Amino acid sequence: MGCAHGKCCNRDSSTSDEDAGHHQRGIRPYKNKDGLTQRSLELVHVPSHNFTLQYSSLTQHGYYPDKTDRENQDSFCIKTQIQGNPNVHFFGVFDGHGQYGAQCSNFVKDKLVEILSSDPTLLDDPLKAYNSAFLATNSELRDSEIDDALSGTTAITVLVVGDTLHVANVGDSRAVIAVKDGDRILAEDLSVDQTPFRKDEYDRVKLFGARVLSVDQVEGLKDPDIQHWGDEESHGGDPPRLWVPNGMYPGTAFTRSVGDSTAEKIGVIAVPEISIVRLTPSHLFFVVASDGVFEFLSSQTVVNMATAYKDPSDACTAIAGDSYKRWLELENRTDDITIIIVQIKGLSNQSGVGTTDSEVHSRPCQTGGSMNQSAAIVPPLMHQRPLESDVG
């Protein structure tokens, strides 16, 4: 979900029984191979806890009928054995936006992991290292030759350290983990989309002077004094966006990003929200994806689909295909679509001690009109139980 001329915010948060059967039969509607880049199945062992990560990824160029030469603004990064450590691995998806979105996305995906890899405090204090890496990457992008005034990128990243996931998010891409609960497999969000739909993010950007309005409100078609847009998952039409006090820009539908120096003046920051999860045998796999996937598919729907495939490469293809199909059913174009699926194989109770719940969810602390760039620990945010109709 990018600038004011980006995609709308219609979402389909459920899957019909017919759809569920369609996916479980392994029928894949995905036929568009133009602009498709897919990595074959890969494995990496985590010797400290004696389990294996089996993963694959896919990125699909969006279909824009009026901009056939538009480049894919998504990028992704998979780097194993960070700092030469066989127990530390990085997975990230970056969704660029604006005129120079592709350049921003590729710059950030290279620079962020480079800074993390060179930080000697990474293993001692991953939370601090992550926070510092995002802010340093944002600063280096600002100092680069890339014009980030009205361009930037979201970033959703997972750092695996032994049996622990550190998930850092800036923007509205998403990470989700699949958890076995009896005979059900539930989706638990590892990140929370940072948009004006969230009251805490709305309040924060308002302190920086942002106007929060939909395009219809900005153009005078709807009452600008109405500051309620419903729930993000069920919202239809144009979402609330951020605007400078006396202008028709930048129109971002997210409240955090890397880059976007103009939007930074109205509270769009590169400070990540970080969650920490201790893995257990109940955790089956995690998904890291751009909102090209989650625009019309709920987290539970994505987990249901991924569960139907033994090979994460096939799961990536199926999910990207369904996302692409739904875009064309509801829009005259598609967004760029990028997804990484990482299966967790062989983790046992003897591998390490943990619980099925996320032990720590941390958010950067902002008070008043200033940006305090330290992290504060808060209670768990997720572990939502999906509707029974969503569970495959």
Distance CA 353, CA 161 (A): 14
Per the listing, tokens 């003897």 go with: 350
> What's the pLDDT score for residue 235?
54
| Dihedral class, residue 383 (left if φ above 0, else alpha if ψ from -120 to 50, else beta) | left
Q: Residues 295, 176: contact at Cβ < 8 Å?
A: no
Which CATH superfamily is 42-193+271-345 part of? PPM-type phosphatase domain (3.60.40.10)
Alpha carbon of 309 to those of 45, 228, 302: distances in Å?
A: 21, 40, 12
DSSP conformational letter for 272: P
Q: Positive or negative CA dihedral for 203, 217, 73, 75?
A: positive
Q: What's the length of the chain? A: 392
Residue 349's Cβ-count burial label (10 Å; 0-12, 13-18, 19+) is exposed
Cβ atoms of 58 and 336 within 8 Å: the answer is no
Count Cα neighbours of 151 within 13 Å in the Cβ-side half-sphere.
21
- Domain range list for the chain: 42-193+271-345, 195-253
Residues 6+ apart with CB under 8 A from 115: 132, 133, 136, 137
DSSP 8-state code for residue 389: G
For residues 363 and 277, is the Cβ–Cβ distance under 8 A? no
The two structure tokens encoding residue 235: 């919202």
DSSP, collapsed to helix, strand or coil, labels residue 336 as coil
Q: What is the pLDDT of residue 372?
A: 41
Asked whether the bond before 250 is cis by omega within 30 degrees of 0, the reply is yes
Write down the H helix ranges in the chain: 17-24, 101-117, 126-143, 199-207, 215-218, 261-264, 291-294, 299-307, 312-330
Look up the pTM and report it: 0.83
Query: DSSP letters along 181-205, please?
Result: ETTEEEEEESS---STTSHHHHHHH
What is the predicted pLDDT for the residue at 352? 46
Confidence (pLDDT) at 221: 84
Q: What is the mean pLDDT of each run of 10 residues along the chain (392 residues)?
A: 41 36 37 66 96 96 88 96 97 97 98 97 94 98 98 98 98 97 97 94 96 88 79 67 93 96 97 97 98 94 97 95 94 94 90 42 41 37 38 46
Check residue 232 and give its pLDDT.
60
Residue-level pLDDT at 214:
87
